[in-house]
Amino acid sequence: MGKATKPLKAASKAAPSAAKPALRAIKGGKAVPPKPVAKAAAKPTVALKPAAPVADDVPVIALNLPQGKLSPAMTAYFKKCQDRLGFVPNVLVAYAFDNAKLETFVAMYNDLMLGDSGLSKLEREMIAVAVSSQNRCYYCLTAHGAAVRQYSSNPVLGEHLVMNYRVARLSKRQRAMLDFAVKLTASPWSVEEGDRERLRRAGFSDRDIWDVSAIAGFFNMSNRVASATDMRPNTVYHGQAR
Amino acid sequence: MGKATKPLKAASKAAPSAAKPALRAIKGGKAVPPKPVAKAAAKPTVALKPAAPVADDVPVIALNLPQGKLSPAMTAYFKKCQDRLGFVPNVLVAYAFDNAKLETFVAMYNDLMLGDSGLSKLEREMIAVAVSSQNRCYYCLTAHGAAVRQYSSNPVLGEHLVMNYRVARLSKRQRAMLDFAVKLTASPWSVEEGDRERLRRAGFSDRDIWDVSAIAGFFNMSNRVASATDMRPNTVYHGQAR
Amino acid sequence: MGKATKPLKAASKAAPSAAKPALRAIKGGKAVPPKPVAKAAAKPTVALKPAAPVADDVPVIALNLPQGKLSPAMTAYFKKCQDRLGFVPNVLVAYAFDNAKLETFVAMYNDLMLGDSGLSKLEREMIAVAVSSQNRCYYCLTAHGAAVRQYSSNPVLGEHLVMNYRVARLSKRQRAMLDFAVKLTASPWSVEEGDRERLRRAGFSDRDIWDVSAIAGFFNMSNRVASATDMRPNTVYHGQAR
Amino acid sequence: MGKATKPLKAASKAAPSAAKPALRAIKGGKAVPPKPVAKAAAKPTVALKPAAPVADDVPVIALNLPQGKLSPAMTAYFKKCQDRLGFVPNVLVAYAFDNAKLETFVAMYNDLMLGDSGLSKLEREMIAVAVSSQNRCYYCLTAHGAAVRQYSSNPVLGEHLVMNYRVARLSKRQRAMLDFAVKLTASPWSVEEGDRERLRRAGFSDRDIWDVSAIAGFFNMSNRVASATDMRPNTVYHGQAR
Amino acid sequence: MGKATKPLKAASKAAPSAAKPALRAIKGGKAVPPKPVAKAAAKPTVALKPAAPVADDVPVIALNLPQGKLSPAMTAYFKKCQDRLGFVPNVLVAYAFDNAKLETFVAMYNDLMLGDSGLSKLEREMIAVAVSSQNRCYYCLTAHGAAVRQYSSNPVLGEHLVMNYRVARLSKRQRAMLDFAVKLTASPWSVEEGDRERLRRAGFSDRDIWDVSAIAGFFNMSNRVASATDMRPNTVYHGQAR
Amino acid sequence: MGKATKPLKAASKAAPSAAKPALRAIKGGKAVPPKPVAKAAAKPTVALKPAAPVADDVPVIALNLPQGKLSPAMTAYFKKCQDRLGFVPNVLVAYAFDNAKLETFVAMYNDLMLGDSGLSKLEREMIAVAVSSQNRCYYCLTAHGAAVRQYSSNPVLGEHLVMNYRVARLSKRQRAMLDFAVKLTASPWSVEEGDRERLRRAGFSDRDIWDVSAIAGFFNMSNRVASATDMRPNTVYHGQAR
């Protein structure tokens, strides 16, 4: 869920065609997947104009779960997403089959990613992407990769974190933060006091360590829900903030 | 959080001494850890009576996070735990430094583990333990291992799932369920339509597949929060429902 | 083989029903496995009394190997087990198809685990459990987990080692010992002089290093024999020394 | 995907500032790395205009290797790159410290990626990206991810292959091709006749199997040269064909 | 393969100089290790005659364990080795610091590798090498690689098993046998009834399955004792049966 | 491709029968593989005379690729191999289906392994073998293991590197070199400035680091081409320089 505080004009124009079918998709059952990639001609000519974008997010998930009845709060939240982002992030569309599950997800997400913390919002998104890279989660890499590009105003940083966070030229603080989050993702059983001490030496308080851990944990959950259901990110994310 | 619908008499007697210090511990900062295991004498004589239990859960976590002010709802929830279980599960004690975080955790936990689902409560606890075994999470293996022993009235099943779920003699349905949850834990990137189809063939609906995935995801989160903070389960769990 | 110098009263009462069928099982071929775990009712009521224990160890192994003729020495050894423990450990029952193999196993086991050593018996059992946890061996985790609980008079220590030895609060000596044993288990090719030096710095003599290595090696053997044959521990172990 | 593919011209305008310093960098020794990512303000305002792009590719590699004297053929080749692409790919800049090495690299690359083959050029680039994703190679994912976007006119396909090729909706042929290439990358020792048979059944000739293998092999080489030297892709690639 | 197998006599001539220092080495403490490999001159000339062999097995192990007093049986056994092989295998020299340990090792080894079994002696050695390759054990690969060369009269088979058993052109029976042994080595927790069934379908009896498992288990032990102690094989093995 | 500057008399005598069928094999399609290893009799008698060597390299690869027309340069190169080594290395035979591919392979190989470098030829071969051991590549371990034996005049060193390079008693320089090459092989994404610094501290220049990386990369390519095609080394290699 890549949150942006201002609508992205270009994106919002393209979004309706991408996001609305996504919303419909979970009502109408499985959509026909797009055709597989054609074998390219031997001497391709580089397209001068972009091809019409292929919606990659129909259906949103590979489970047939009709949308449930949303509470007024969730209906308002979806409207707010549409107004501010130009689309409703597909993870919300996916959870919308059950209003109770949607509400617990949104509450935890918003507390962790937007609530008070010693970590900046960019840092929280950086954790999201580094963890999702370890787990190779298409949904989260796309949505939160876009968020890193936006928050940092540094498109290349988003690519670094998607591909291999070790190539990013980070401050010691942020490198320590991502090292911890990735170790916690790859071998949680091996995290010990020495790892916490390394974070403290890099300037993190015990409360900050909780936040790094909880956010890394949250994306270890979301990555698995997304992979288990073949959740597809809104196509619009791919072009954001490049 | 191993829920029991009735108080466990034996456990509740032991619990105050175990749980109360735990609650205090997060107020008073780091407690002195228990002494390391002494080198046993060459010819140990087996104790005829169990030694006084050593509290293993002081402090509850390795971060110094003073308890925050709980909302009336959370205060009531803690009281209910104390009344029905004889103790407050330490994961709640750990989250209690921040009422907002506690509430989102409790809401998601209760929805997933106690709400409506095509999975029985035992099956949900089985997923919790099989995932936690893959991640070698001490807290969750202890608390949810106890829950499996209680719900199943089969203490050995709890041990199977803690140690290696493949040795349990499960129905095809439950084996398929745990195979999916463990694969999703170990290599989420490799879960594909074939894996979902295997669950469908074992009798799971698409909604059930969501629930298996969301519960497996949830414990991949909780395992990491617990490992990152060295969260210690209430000592009383170890002896429950043996 | 969790040796106890005195019978455990509660256990020994339950043992005959558990151990004797096990002894018969290898004569009569494959027993019918117990029924798979039933899908729990939506609102389980916790049993007030424990269910009659389900024997988990019939048959003892998944190979049809009729018991062979035991030598007088081995017959006496089995009787001694029955008298002192209340049962014959199933690993001995499993090897009993061939007296020669049984004798070499018993000789090596007794030398390593009960013979002279700079390591206490508890420490040897700790190695057994930490190695078996790495290999997720149901038989050895159960039998030697019980032995750790007995020798240490600290039931929780047994759980630590079964689940993740890193959570146990160990002396530097014992932590170094288990780090070595687990590394030797997971990646034996990577053990080098630096690893031996770490043991020496923690107070181990060269002879002690041999013993740590030989015991870790022995359980890497036993774990594989047990996993290869689906060897089931005597059900009585599960409740011992909790 | 609103911003998507502009013709290469736009990119080539940006390129000089990106590529030229790269060429200078290897003469002048190590450049000062860009500043680490600043801790974002608590409430970032999304930039309305993209920040001036930060050159991510100075220096091109982390080894101090002054450019060597290029042969006329290589000089012409660099000029051709500049004319047609608007920049010289940094991998060529990296190899330019030694003309002989540059020539062998270019000869092998051009034969494999541009020579006759039963595989389309897009398919060859798809192998490049899937292999590089397994090895998490920043250089190759960036440069060949852009190539997949261009050849396929499908920007999202490039993202799929960078993140997790299993989420791309591929033909059976291309899925078999990438499964083989990724297995060959991850565990080459385990590739056997059954794997070749799977390619044959998917329509590949023995010559095609050679090409899949040789290209997968080539990127296993290039990924390692790039990672070993911290090779940085031309910044211009990131925005191409989005 | 021109130089291939000479009768063991030739080897036994070389052996004394290799084996005797080994026997002394454990009395006299750590020997000086041979000099590291010199940086070869730019244009090495291949030696027309082999260099005097460098003893690679001094000391036999990296632990300082003076030889103990051997029982008459073990003294006779060492003499028999010397008479028949021309040397005492270094694993026996290593265990000779403690006669009791030596005896249990020899008894188990001889029962498994030389006793009655449905597996030929060659097959048992094949298991030894395939397991030791998985564990990258220098001692066992060397000593048992030589045994495979001798028993099979096929020097190349020994190399296959040392390097990657999948390249050997084996019967279905032997391939199934090694697949089982290697899986049991790499992930013992994952061995289940399906694996045993595969062996049965390849013609193995339940007793044979025990033997495959016990031998694979034994070398998982020996590999670790050897790696833990840096055990060096008698130099003479390297040239045997080539 | 184990280069020897002088013919190895014994080998060259045996070579024609081994190498020539290999050259024919790729013309005549798939040869019948040798019979699987016979089950040895219960009591094998060690052969007093070597068995007639079984050619292990027919066909050279498992793909049916008829030899192409060689350029005069490549024809001369093959003749030179035959004259100096007594055989044409099978990797060249394998590439000979396409002269262009053969030429690019030979050019890169000769530049890396025989061209100017701060690494001795022995050191380059040591990298080849250590990398190939990590990848368990039968072809490269055999051919380059022989080269290490020849260049070092130390047959045992070749075995060390094939089996586990950590057991070789190397200089600090060479150990650092192989540690880097093996890490780059096993987890290229994790190689960072600290790893390069370790090489610099061991005396390597930045140019040397390039060479270590490029050679390690090259064998990561060759290992995969060999494994993908079941490439078989010339049988003659096995006995060389023992």
**Chains in contact with chain B (at least 3 beta-carbon pairs closer than 8 A):** A, C, D, E
Interchain contact, A230 vs B192, CB within 8 Å: yes
Residues of E in contact with C188 (CB under 8 A): 135-137, 223-224, 227-228
Question: Residues A111, B100: contact at Cβ < 8 Å?
Answer: yes
Distance CA E231, CA C212 (A): 15
Across B126-142, average pLDDT? 98
Interchain contact, D46 vs A238, CB within 8 Å: no
D128-151 pLDDT, tens digit each: 999 999 999 999 999 999 999 999
Interchain contact, B221 vs A225, CB within 8 Å: no
Extract the tokens encoding D107: 């000869």
Across C82-104, average pLDDT? 98
**E strands, chain E, in order:** none
Residues of F in contact with E238 (CB under 8 A): 155-156, 159, 242
Across B96-115, average pLDDT? 98
For helices E121-134 and E172-186, angle between their N-to-C axes, nearest 10 degrees: 40
Extract the tokens encoding F52: 């007639």
Q: With the C-alpha atoms ordered C89, C93, C99, C105, is the resulting torsion angle positive or negative? A: negative
> What is the total residue count of chain C?
242
What pLDDT, on a 0 to 100 scale, did the predictor assign at position C126?
A: 98
Residues of C in contact with F134 (CB under 8 A): none
Q: Which of A93-97, C23-27, E192-196 has the lowest mean pLDDT?
A: C23-27
Task: Give me the helices (H) in chain A, please.
Answer: 9-25, 72-85, 90-95, 99-114, 121-134, 138-152, 155-163, 172-186, 193-201, 206-229
Nearest CA in chain D to B190: D166
Distance CA D117, CA D112 (A): 8
Across D188-215, average pLDDT? 98
Distance CA D180, CA D195 (A): 7
Question: Residues C113, C215: contact at Cβ < 8 Å?
Answer: yes
B190 at C interface, C-beta within 8 A = no
Nearest CA in chain D to F208: D63
User: Is B2's pLDDT higher than 80?
Assistant: no
What pLDDT, on a 0 to 100 scale, did the predictor assign at position D12?
A: 34
A197 at D interface, C-beta within 8 A = no
Nearest CA in chain F to A165: F189
Question: Residues B42, C117: contact at Cβ < 8 Å?
Answer: no
**Chains in contact with chain E (at least 3 beta-carbon pairs closer than 8 A):** B, C, D, F
Local confidence pLDDT in tens for the 242 residues of chain E? 333 333 333 333 333 333 333 333 333 344 445 566 656 544 444 444 445 556 899 999 999 999 999 999 999 999 999 999 999 999 999 999 999 999 999 999 999 999 999 999 999 999 999 999 999 999 999 999 999 999 999 999 999 999 999 999 999 999 999 999 999 999 999 999 999 999 999 999 999 999 999 999 999 999 999 999 999 999 999 999 99
Q: Which of A42-46, A224-228, B145-149, D100-104 has the lowest mean pLDDT?
A: A42-46
Q: Which of B235-239, C62-66, D16-20 has the lowest mean pLDDT?
A: D16-20
A168-213 pLDDT, tens digit each: 999 999 999 999 999 999 999 999 999 999 999 999 999 999 999 9
**Among C71, C87, C67, which Cα is nearest to C27's?**
C67
What pLDDT, on a 0 to 100 scale, did the predictor assign at position B207?
A: 98
What pLDDT, on a 0 to 100 scale, did the predictor assign at position D224?
A: 98
DSSP-derived letter for residue A18 is: H
At CA C105, angle to CA C100 and CA C106, rounded to 5? 100
E116-146 pLDDT, tens digit each: 999 999 999 999 999 999 999 999 999 999 9
Average pLDDT, chain A: 86
DSSP-derived letter for residue A33 is: P
How far is the CA of E38 from the CAs of B21, D63, E43, F192, in angstroms? 64, 27, 14, 28
Which site among F224, F231, F232 would you substitute to test the D interface, given the most D Cβ atoms closer than 10 Å to its Cβ? F224
Residues of E in contact with D190 (CB under 8 A): 166
Question: B48: distance to nearest CA of chain A, Å?
Answer: 35
Interchain contact, D170 vs A36, CB within 8 Å: yes
Question: F208: distance to nearest CA of chain D, Å?
Answer: 10
Question: E53: distance to nearest CA of chain F, Å?
Answer: 8
Q: How many CA atoms lie within 13 A of E173 on its CB side?
A: 15
A51-88 pLDDT, tens digit each: 555 689 999 999 999 999 999 999 999 999 999 999 99
User: Is A152's pLDDT higher than 80?
Assistant: yes
Distance CA D60, CA D31 (A): 9
Extract the tokens encoding B93: 């004690």
Question: E187: distance to nearest CA of chain C, Å?
Answer: 7
What pLDDT, on a 0 to 100 scale, did the predictor assign at position D204?
A: 98
User: Is B37's pLDDT higher than 90?
Assistant: no
Extract the tokens encoding B94: 């750990």
Across B142-165, average pLDDT? 98
What pLDDT, on a 0 to 100 scale, did the predictor assign at position E54?
A: 63
**Chains in contact with chain D (at least 3 beta-carbon pairs closer than 8 A):** A, B, E, F
Percentage of chain C lying above the pLDDT 70 cut: 78
Does ipTM exceed 0.90? no
What pLDDT, on a 0 to 100 scale, did the predictor assign at position B53?
A: 57
Pick C227's closest partner by Cβ from E184, E222, E224: E184
Other CB atoms within 10 A of residue B27 CB: 10
Q: What is the CA radius of gyration of chain D?
A: 19
Interchain contact, A122 vs D174, CB within 8 Å: no
CB < 8 Å from F in window 60-99 of C? none
Across D108-132, average pLDDT? 98
B231 at A interface, C-beta within 8 A = no
Which site among E134, E160, E166 would you substitute to test the D interface, given the most D Cβ atoms closer than 10 Å to its Cβ? E166
Task: Output the 3-class SS for chain F.
Answer: CCCCCCCCHHHHHHHHHHHHHHHHHCCCCCCCCCCCCCCCCCCCCCCCCCCCCCCCCCCCCCCCCCCCCCCHHHHHHHHHHHHHHCCCCHHHHHHCCCHHHHHHHHHHHHHHHHCCCCCCHHHHHHHHHHHHHHCCCHHHHHHHHHHHHHHHCCHHHHHHHHHCHHHCCCCHHHHHHHHHHHHHHHCHHHCCHHHHHHHHHCCCCHHHHHHHHHHHHHHHHHHHHHHHHCCCCCHHHHHCCC
Which site among E46, E119, E131, E236 would you substitute to test the F interface, given the most F Cβ atoms closer than 10 Å to its Cβ? E46
Nearest CA in chain E to B163: E189
Across D161-182, average pLDDT? 98
Mention every residue, 6+ apart, whose C-beta is less than 8 A from residue E64: C206, E29, E30
Task: Output the 3-class SS for chain B.
Answer: CCCCCCCCHHHHHHHHHHHHHHHHHCCCCCCCCCCCCCCCCCCCCCCCCCCCCCCCCCCCCCCCCCCCCCCHHHHHHHHHHHHHHCCCCHHHHHHCCCHHHHHHHHHHHHHHHHCCCCCCHHHHHHHHHHHHHHCCCHHHHHHHHHHHHHHHCCHHHHHHHHHCHHHCCCCHHHHHHHHHHHHHHHCHHHCCHHHHHHHHHCCCCHHHHHHHHHHHHHHHHHHHHHHHHCCCCCHHHHHCCC
Average pLDDT, chain B: 86
Extract the tokens encoding F144: 């380059």
Across B162-190, average pLDDT? 98
F187 at A interface, C-beta within 8 A = no
DSSP-derived letter for residue E45 is: P
Other CB atoms within 10 A of residue C40 CB: 18
Question: Residues E232, E10: contact at Cβ < 8 Å?
Answer: no
User: Is D92's pLDDT higher than 50?
Assistant: yes
- Mean pLDDT is highest, among A153-167, B51-65, E45-59, for A153-167
A92/C55: higher pLDDT: A92
Mention every residue, 6+ apart, whose C-beta is less than 8 A from residue C175: none
D189 at E interface, C-beta within 8 A = yes
**Which SS3 state, helix, strand or coil, does residue D153 take?**
coil
Residues of C in contact with E188 (CB under 8 A): 135-137, 223-224, 227-228
Question: B106: distance to nearest CA of chain C, Å?
Answer: 20
**Which SS3 state, helix, strand or coil, does residue A69 take?**
coil
What confidence tier does D43 reach under pLDDT thresholds 50, 70, 90?
A: very low
What pLDDT, on a 0 to 100 scale, did the predictor assign at position C35?
A: 62
Extract the tokens encoding D40: 């974002």
Residue type, D212: V
What pLDDT, on a 0 to 100 scale, did the predictor assign at position D55?
A: 84
**Which SS3 state, helix, strand or coil, does residue A19 take?**
helix
Which site among C166, C167, C178 would you substitute to test the A interface, given the most A Cβ atoms closer than 10 Å to its Cβ? C166
At CA A176, angle to CA A174 and CA A181, rounded to 5? 95
CB < 8 Å from E in window 18-57 of C? none
Residues of chain F with pLDDT under 50: 1-32, 41-50
Interchain contact, B63 vs A207, CB within 8 Å: yes
Residues of A in contact with D36 (CB under 8 A): 169-171, 174
Interchain contact, C192 vs F166, CB within 8 Å: yes
D160 at A interface, C-beta within 8 A = yes
| Residue whose entry in the numeric block shows the structure tokens 């699987």 | F36
Question: Residues B140, B123: contact at Cβ < 8 Å?
Answer: no
Question: Residues C85, C240: contact at Cβ < 8 Å?
Answer: no
Distance CA E110, CA E105 (A): 8
Q: Rounded to two decimals, what is the model's pTM?
A: 0.87
**Chains in contact with chain F (at least 3 beta-carbon pairs closer than 8 A):** A, C, D, E
Distance CA B220, CA A186 (A): 11
Across A118-145, average pLDDT? 98
What pLDDT, on a 0 to 100 scale, did the predictor assign at position F12?
A: 35
Distance CA F99, CA E158 (A): 35
Residues of B in contact with E195 (CB under 8 A): none
Distance CA D150, CA D128 (A): 14
Give the burial string for B162-186 (b: 16+ CB within 10 Å, else e).
Answer: bbbbbbbbbeebbbbbbbbbbbbbe
Across B17-33, average pLDDT? 39
Q: With the C-alpha atoms ordered C226, C227, C233, C238, is the resulting torsion angle positive or negative? A: positive
Which site among F43, F127, F135, F153 would you substitute to test the E interface, given the most E Cβ atoms closer than 10 Å to its Cβ? F153
What pLDDT, on a 0 to 100 scale, did the predictor assign at position B26?
A: 36
Nearest CA in chain C to F168: C192
Interchain contact, C154 vs B46, CB within 8 Å: no
D122 at F interface, C-beta within 8 A = no
Percentage of chain A lying above the pLDDT 70 cut: 78
What pLDDT, on a 0 to 100 scale, did the predictor assign at position C48?
A: 46
Residues of E in contact with B179 (CB under 8 A): none
H-run or E-run covering D48:
none
Question: A153: distance to nearest CA of chain D, Å?
Answer: 6
What confidence tier does D54 reach under pLDDT thresholds 50, 70, 90?
A: low
Interchain contact, A120 vs D153, CB within 8 Å: no
